[in-house]
Amino acid sequence: MVEKSSITTILTVMFAAAFLGVAGCRTVPSASGPDDAVAAGIGETEADEDLKNLMMLSEALKLAQRSHVDEHSYRDLVYSAADLMLHSLDPHSAFLPPEPLESLVEETSGKFGGIGLSVESVGNGVRVMAPVADSPAAKAGIKAGDTIVAVDGQSLQGVSLNDAVKSMRGEAGTEVKVTVRRPSGEEVQVPIKRDEIKVTSVKGAEQLGDDLGYVRIVQFSKSVPSDFAKALAQFRGKKGLIIDLRNNPGGLLESAVGVAEQVLPQGSEIVSVRGRQSDGKPNKFTAGWCPERDTGLPLAVLVNGASASASEVLAGALKDHHRAVLVGETTYGKASVQSVIPLKTNPDCAVRLTTAYYFTPSGHQIHGRGIEPDEKVAIDEAERQRIYRQQVARERGGGVNLAQIGDRQLERACEILRGGAQPEQGKE
């Protein structure tokens, strides 16, 4: 019995042969016909229906290329068709032509050009998950929850996430005007001067009084585990450490795992990944060996509605293992796995596909739900922005002390750690 995946391969090759023939290629791979599939035991109706749909797509591409009032290349039409198809599955799946693929590599390395936003696609534009700390967008007042609906006067309605991000990028020093729709419905046009975005992911390590430490993780880039280890070493023997994950849009899963295993017992589950390819069986990430591990230092983690993805993985693991008390607001709820899969037919292109969801050690699905704090301390937008500006000023050497900021979420975390209200600690 031939597997269904074989049918997909057969039909894909047939479609490629038909399409390449239209495009003027003189040689194509040979492929089995539908009769071979039927003879092999595959239902004729299913095979014929798949072939019919593929040929319909081929015809639509051919008609668009030949008859649309504006001239378009086959490559552009195929790229658009692939991207729209993937985007229809969920906001985070996309087709990656060479330039966006290069941009993705730049971002995870911790350095890229643009205005400094982490965004996700929504129907009428892109919604801001969080601005990069101290970026042009942050300085211009762009906030988590804002929706960018136009760039330089061009609407983002129906535009792919890749194209929307590309439109906001450019040479450092050039200006871009973004039209921002606030959660209140107000629309404002914001001019922003582009700059090179350099992300220092672990910031603001500071001692609070004589007994507590504080560190802020801006996002999870490659260097975070080693940078966190240096900060952790500063506070050994203290009464507690506060890890600030507010406004952290996520990043590399491996980096979040690398932080978690420094404060959890070896072998502890950190996160599981479940998708169709695993047949329902979770792929678990556990705390491995690390040269320095501290499972006794009491921890508090600050979270809010802009803490997303990898930051939710870390917060969820520490909460489930009663290793930290979470203070603040419910996290964003964006915790799906995007796999970047290079295409064999064109290695310069790739598909970014949502392939699984993250689950905390207790089995809680993060995506669409978020992580609830142990101690809820809600603040309004004005207070959030004031705290953020003072944090940035402090980290730029502005002489502002954490104790002077008037940060109620941070103050509550300090009270809990100093008052001994920390949940039961993990043990080696």
CATH at residue 162: 2.30.42.10
Residues 6+ apart with CB under 8 A from 301: 242, 243, 244, 245, 314, 315, 318, 319, 324, 325, 326, 327
Of 160, 181, 196, the residue at which a domain comes to its end is 196
Q: What is the CATH number of the domain that holds 226?
A: 3.90.226.10
Pairing relationship of beta strands 212-217 and 240-244 according to DSSP bridges: parallel
Contact 91, 121 (CB under 8 A): yes
In angstroms, the CA 268 to CA 272 distance is: 11
Q: Quick one: pLDDT at residue 10?
A: 35
Contact 339, 353 (CB under 8 A): yes
Q: Does residue 93 have an active-site annotation?
A: no
Residue 92 lies in a domain: no
Do 233 and 374 fall into the same domain? Answer: yes
Confidence tier at 348 by pLDDT (50, 70, 90) = confident
User: Do 307 and 375 lie in a common domain?
Assistant: yes
In b/e form, how buried is each residue of 44-63, taking b as 16+ CB within 10 angstroms? eeebeebbeebeeebeebbe
- Do residues 115 and 138 both lie within one domain? yes
Per-residue model confidence (pLDDT) at position 399: 59
The pLDDT of residue 5 is 39
Long-range contacts of 384-392 (CB under 8 A, 24+ apart): 384/143, 384/304, 385/141, 385/143, 388/138, 388/247, 391/133, 391/204, 391/216, 392/133, 392/134, 392/138
Higher pLDDT, 193 or 391: 193
CA distance 387 to 425: 30
Question: How far is the CA of 102 from the CAs of 31, 87, 109, 317, 349, in angstroms?
Answer: 34, 19, 11, 32, 10
pLDDT tens digits, 58-115:
999 999 999 999 999 988 999 889 988 998 898 888 888 876 555 555 555 445 568 9
For residue 381, the model assigns a pLDDT of 82
- 18 or 359: which leads in pLDDT: 359
**60, 77 contact by CB (below 8 A):** no
pLDDT at 427 over 50: no
Question: Do the domain assignments include residue 86?
Answer: no
Residue 278: the pLDDT is: 66
State which residues form the domain around 133.
110-196
125 forms beta bridges with 122
Question: Is 360 inside any structural domain?
Answer: yes
- Total domains present in the chain: 3
Is 314 part of a structural domain of the chain? yes
Among 160, 334, 336, 407, the one annotated catalytic: 334
Same domain, 217 and 322: yes
Two tokens, residue 76: 């552009």
Above pLDDT 70, what percent of the chain? Answer: 82
Q: How many CA atoms lie within 13 A of 103 on its CB side?
A: 22
Written as six digits, the tokens of 82 are: 């692939």
Residue pair 175/193 in contact by the 8 Å Cβ criterion: yes
149 with 224, same domain: the answer is: no
The reply to whether 143 and 214 lie within a common domain is no
Q: Is residue 17 part of a domain?
A: yes
Is residue 195 pLDDT above 70, yes or no? Answer: yes
139 is known as an active-site residue: no
More confident call, 393 vs 410: 410
- How high is the pLDDT of residue 420? 65
- Residues 312-334, mean pLDDT to the nearest whole number: 97
Give me the mean pLDDT over the 157-164 stretch: 81
143 within a domain of the structure (yes/no) = yes
Catalytic position from the list 203, 320, 336, 407: 320
Rounded average pLDDT over 179-194: 93
Task: Report pLDDT digits (tens) over 290-318.
Answer: 888 999 999 999 999 989 999 999 999 99
Q: In the predicted model, what is the mean pLDDT of residues 143-167?
A: 87
Check if the beta carbon of residue 184 is closer than 8 Å to that of residue 124: no
Of the three residues 43, 72, 101, the one that is the final residue of a domain is: 72
For residue 119, what pLDDT is reported? 82
Q: Are residues 182 and 273 in the same domain?
A: no
Hey, what are 239's tokens? 């009464």
Tell me, yes or no, whether 330 and 412 share the same domain.
yes
The answer to whether residue 324 scores a pLDDT higher than 70 is yes
Name the average pLDDT for the chain: 82
CA atoms within 13 A on the CB side of 234: 16
Rg (alpha carbons) of the chain, rounded to whole number:
25
- Phi/psi of residue 79, each to 5°? -60, -45
Same domain, 65 and 119: no
DSSP string of 7-40? Answer: HHHHHHHHHHHHHHHHHT-S-------HHHHHHT
Q: What is the mean pLDDT of residues 204-226?
A: 90
| 179/140 Cα distance (integer angstroms) | 12
Most confident of 120-129, 159-168, 317-326, 391-400: 317-326
Annotated catalytic residue 309: yes
pLDDT at 22: 33
pLDDT at 32: 39
* Whole-number Å distance between alpha carbons of 262 and 287: 8
**Within-domain flag for 355:** yes
Residue 93 pLDDT: 87
Do residues 210 and 305 share a domain? yes
Q: What is the pLDDT of residue 112?
A: 58
Residues 335, 314 share a domain = yes
Catalytic residue among 268, 309, 311, 336: 309
Higher pLDDT, 25 or 272: 272
> Do 354 and 394 lie in a common domain?
yes
Model confidence pLDDT, tens digit, residues 15-71: 333 333 333 332 233 333 444 444 445 556 788 888 999 999 999 999 999 999 999
Would residue 82 count as lying in a domain? no
